Amino acid sequence: MAKTLSENPPKKKGTNWRKIKINWQLYVLLAPGLIYFLVFKYYPMYGVQIAFKDFRAVDGIFGSAWVGFDHFIRFFDSYYFWDLIKNTLGINLYALALFPISIIVALSLNELRDGKFKKTAQTITYAPHFISVVVFVGMIIAFLDPATGIINNFIQFLGFEPISFMTEPGWFKTIFVWSNEWQNLGWGAIIYLAALAGVDPQLHEAAKVDGATRLQRIWHINLPSIMPTIIILLILNMGNMMSIGFEKILLMQNELNLESSQVIQTYVYEAGLLHGQYSYSTAVGLFNSVINFAILIFFNRLARRTGTSLW
Amino acid sequence: MSIKPAKSDRIFDFFNKLLVWFFIVIISYPLIYIISASISDPAYVNSGQMWLFPKGITFEGFERVFQSNEIWLGYRNTIFYTLLGTFINLAITLPMAYALSRSDLIGKKAIMALLVFTMFFDGGLIPTYLLIRDLGMINTVWAMVIPSAAAMWNIIVTMTFFKVSIPKGLEEAAEIDGASQIRTFFQIVIPLSAPIIAVMALFYGVGHWNQYFGALIYLQDRELFPLQLFLREILVQQQITAELMQQSGTAAAISEHAKIADIIKYAVMIVSAAPLLIVYPFLQRFFIKGVMIGSLKE
């Protein structure tokens, strides 16, 4: 707002009002969307106050009694608090460690000279992105089945005992994270390929003249060119640090793997929607959102030093 | 430029191709396996004798799936939610993105800040659920299309498209000729925006087709269930309803249970994923275009 005002220094307010009046139709075009965001995104933020209240439907959000930080304290003191934190961070940090795979896929596809092969490779690697999470989890369960799954058939073929992957807590994170990677490594590469398409060919010509090898050119030209994209995506990932893949985790959960598959968001779902503890689970969810947002701001600050940041 | 590529170059190409082939094999194997498994005798599939090509070909899985009323019901509901939902998405996204792309929109910065904030912070699951409940949308069609009526990321992509692809002069000329801004939007901008409309319809459409969580929390009535919820019962919870078994829950039926589950499992995956996987290669360029516009800097 400040900037718009300073652009027309002399008669600021008057001109702005006049411009709004002339352009009223733009606001008509804007209105449906704006109303949507206010109702479905901002009104729930108003509703988040029930985290500090004892919500009763008859009293409504506004009328329910305040209880301060009671729900938060109850959450922090609960025996499962550290398990949830450990699982949530564990899964996300594990996923973050695989972040470079899509970059490698993009750099590699970018070096292909055979256009047809390149296109086919892209079509195949992007395809899993379109499989729904329900079908995908169905695939994982089918493949890993201890008695009938292809993976265990192979393990037995090699002479080992079958592994009950889905009910073994120790396997949960690995299955979740690597299957995610399988589904998204190609799709995740598109954005880097777009950035790579913008690399000035003259840089490569000059490096060739200087005798640089392909690997050297990738390392010293291509990688630095996509660095801003990498940083932006890293920050965005950080901002989702505690919330990736919740819908998939929920589907992959079962009684037996719960000790490593229960994350904050699945717990919010369970406590809130299955057990009706609205205020308490809102508090847990709010805790998650605030941490998420804090991490985002922290890393965006950090990234500013490199000259690339979200804002 | 006719110099033969250096030896190190050829070695690099070889290993690079090897790497790409590695990714191709890793990704296509499970897909091929599902297709083969869906038309193979479950005895071969379960024992691992079928590992690549179909063995003991049978179409019983597909027959059972196609005879199931619930699968058809789910399909019909999903198609309906996808069409209605995508229409609402476009009706909100396009005008909003257009207004935001115009430099003469006063207060644009504040509005954008308000909108972008929602990408990183939200009220969370429960307050949103309570809102939908208070609006009386629980167990209605509206719960499937209204809470997801617009996505900020898509609005930004569309806005960027309008900024870089619609010649400013065209809008100005239309408005000098006396066209209102709303008319300019519908008669000048929309006809020039076929690519972004396609991209957005695809992005939103795939989202509706594949989504299950909204249906899980907002719908109770089986008549309203989208395909994904029925699939969840079959594939994840591994419940085979009496209807798919085509017989009542007698003792004999229970022993039959596992066998039928195996027969339909892979067929049902194909039936659900096939429409997208078949059309996607033809629409690939639109999807990619969408991601690329999204990566453009303002």
Shortest distance between the Cα of B168 and any Cα of chain A, in A, equals 15
Give which of B275, B263, B274, B276 is closest to B63, Cα–Cα.
Answer: B263
- The reply to whether A3 falls in a domain is no
Rounded to the nearest angstrom, the minimum Cα separation between B20 and chain A is 7
Element (H, E) at A80: none
Query: Computed over its alpha carbons, how large is the radius of gyration of chain B?
Result: 25
Say which residue the tokens 């933020």 belong to: A45
Residue B254 confidence (pLDDT) above 70: no
Q: At A310, which helix (H) or strand (E)?
A: none
Q: Determine if residue A114 is left, alpha or beta; phi over 0 gives left, psi from -120 to 50 gives alpha, anything else beta.
A: beta
Q: Return the pLDDT at B220.
A: 95
> Average pLDDT in the B3-25 region?
87
- Asked if A142 lies within 8 A of B281 by C-beta distance, the reply is no
Task: Give the pLDDT confidence of B48-100 residue by residue, as tens digits.
Answer: 888 889 998 989 889 989 888 999 999 999 999 999 999 999 999 999 999 99
Residue predicted with more confidence, A135 or B275: A135
Q: Which helix (H) or strand (E) holds A47?
A: helix A43-47
B271 vs A310, higher pLDDT: B271
Residue B137 confidence (pLDDT): 96
Per-residue pLDDT at A15: 78
Answer yes or no: are the C-beta atoms of A260 and A170 closer than 8 Å.
yes
Greater confidence, B204 or A58? B204
- Which of residues A66, A95, A126 is at a domain's end? A66
In chain B, what residues touch A108 (CB-CB under 8 Å)? 16, 19-20, 23
A79/chain B closest Cα distance in angstroms = 23
**Residues 255-274 in B contacting A (C-alpha not used; CB under 8 Å):** 262, 265-266, 268-269, 272-273
* A293 closest CB neighbour out of B13, B26, B121: B121
Q: What is the mean pLDDT of residues B32-54?
A: 90
Closest residue in B to A233 (Cα–Cα): B295
With both helix axes pointing from N to C terminus, report the angle between A278-304 and A70-77 in degrees, rounded to the nearest 10.
80
Which of B106, B184, B292, B296 should be substituted to probe chain A, the one whose Cβ sees the most A Cβ atoms within 10 Å?
B106
More confident residue, B13 or B240: B13
Q: Quote the domain boundaries for residue A129.
A: 79-304
A147 band by pLDDT with thresholds 50, 70 and 90:
confident
Could you tell me which residues come within 8 angstroms of residue A260 by beta carbon, excluding any fewer than 6 positions away? A87, A90, A169, A170, A172, A173
Q: What are phi and psi of A65, to 5 degrees?
A: -80, 140
Assigned token pair, A165: 């992957």
The label of the residue with tokens 């660095």 reads A227
Nearest chain A residue (CA) to B276:
A130
B232 touches chain A (CB under 8 A): yes
Same domain, A42 and A134: no
pLDDT higher than threshold 70 for residue A292: yes
Which residue type sits at A120?
A: T
Q: Is the pLDDT of residue A6 over 50?
A: no
* Ramachandran angles phi, psi of A54, nearest 5°: -105, 95
List, for residues A94-140, the tens digit of each pLDDT value: 999 999 999 999 999 999 988 899 999 999 999 999 999 999 999 99
For residues A27 and A139, membership in a common domain is answered with no
Q: Do both A261 and A116 map to the same domain?
A: yes
Rounded Cα distance between A109 and A122, Å, is 8
A187 and A136 within one domain: yes
**Residues contacting residue A249 through CB under 8 Å, at least 6 positions apart:** A91, A176, A261, A263, A265, A266
Residues B162-210 have pLDDT tens digits of 998 888 888 888 888 888 889 999 999 999 999 899 989 999 999 999 9
- Could you give the CA distance from residue A15 to residue A194 in angstroms, rounded to a whole number? 41
A166 and A104 in a common domain: yes
The Cα A189–Cα A294 span in angstroms is: 27
Contact A29 B277 (CB under 8 A): no
Residue A2, domain member (yes or no): no
Question: Inter-chain contact B272–A135, Cβ cutoff 8 Å?
Answer: yes
Q: Which residues on B lie below 8 Å from A23 (Cβ)?
A: 102, 104-106, 181
Q: Identify which has the larger pLDDT, B85 or A19.
A: B85
- Using an 8 Å CB-CB cutoff, list chain A residues near B98: 29
Interface contact A191-B295, CB threshold 8 A? yes
B32 in A contact zone (CB under 8 Å): no
Note whether A245 and A124 are same-domain residues: yes
Question: In percent, how much of chain B has pLDDT > 90?
Answer: 56
Band the pLDDT of A3: cuts 50, 70, 90. Answer: very low
Closest C-alpha to A135, from B283, B41, B205, B30 = B30
Q: Which CATH superfamily is domain B61-295 in?
A: MetI-like (1.10.3720.10)
Query: Distances in Å between the alpha carbon of A131 and those of A70, A253, B30, B267, B274?
Result: 42, 19, 12, 14, 9
User: By three-state DSSP, how is residue A54 classified?
Assistant: strand
How far is residue A158's CA from residue B230's CA, in Å, rounded to a whole number?
36
B-interface mutation test, from A22, A30, A52, A109, most B Cβ less than 10 A away: A30
pLDDT for B34 beyond 50: yes
Let me know whether A45 and A184 are in one domain: no
Chain A contact present for B87, CB below 8 A? no
Categorize the per-residue pLDDT at B1 as very low, low, confident or very high, splitting at 50, 70 and 90.
very low
User: SS3 of A274, please?
Assistant: helix
My answer on whether A130 and A45 are in the same domain is no
Average model confidence (pLDDT) for chain A?
90
Indicate if A31 and A146 belong to the same structural domain: no
Same domain for A112 and A37?
no
ipTM of the complex: 0.90
**H and E: helices and strands count for chain B:** 15, 0
Q: Number of Cβ pairs closer than 8 Å across A and B?
A: 271
Share of residues in chain A with pLDDT > 90 (%): 69
Q: Pick the residue from chain A with its C-alpha nearest to B230.
A: A134
**Which of A38, A132, A214 to substitute to test the interface with B, most B CBs within 10 Å?**
A132
Helices then strands, each counted (H, E), chain A: 19, 2
A205-221 pLDDT, tens digit per residue, is: 999 898 888 899 999 99
Beta carbons of B95 and A32 less than 8 Å apart: yes
Q: Which of A129, A187, A134 is nearest to B31 (CA)?
A: A129
Write down the residue that tokens 């990234």 correspond to.
Answer: A303
**Per-residue confidence (pLDDT) for residue A241, from 0 to 100:** 75
* Beta-carbon contacts of residue B287 (< 8 Å; ≥ 6 apart): A126, B199, B202, B203, B280
What pLDDT shows up at residue B240?
64
Query: Per-residue pLDDT for A187 more than 70?
Result: yes
Neighbours of B213 (CB within 10 A): 18
Mean pLDDT for B230-236 is 91
Q: Is residue B114 a contact partner of residue A33, using CB atoms and an 8 Å limit?
A: no
**Residues linked to residue A65 through DSSP beta bridges, in sequence order:** A54
Q: Which residue of B has its CA nearest to A153?
A: B48
Which of A54-58, A241-245, A304-308, B78-82 is least confident? A241-245
Cα separation, B229 vs B73, in Å, equals 11
A132 and A52 within one domain: no
CA distance B189 to chain A (A): 13
Are A111 and A203 part of one and the same domain?
A: yes
How far apart CA B240 and CA B246 sit, in angstroms, is 10
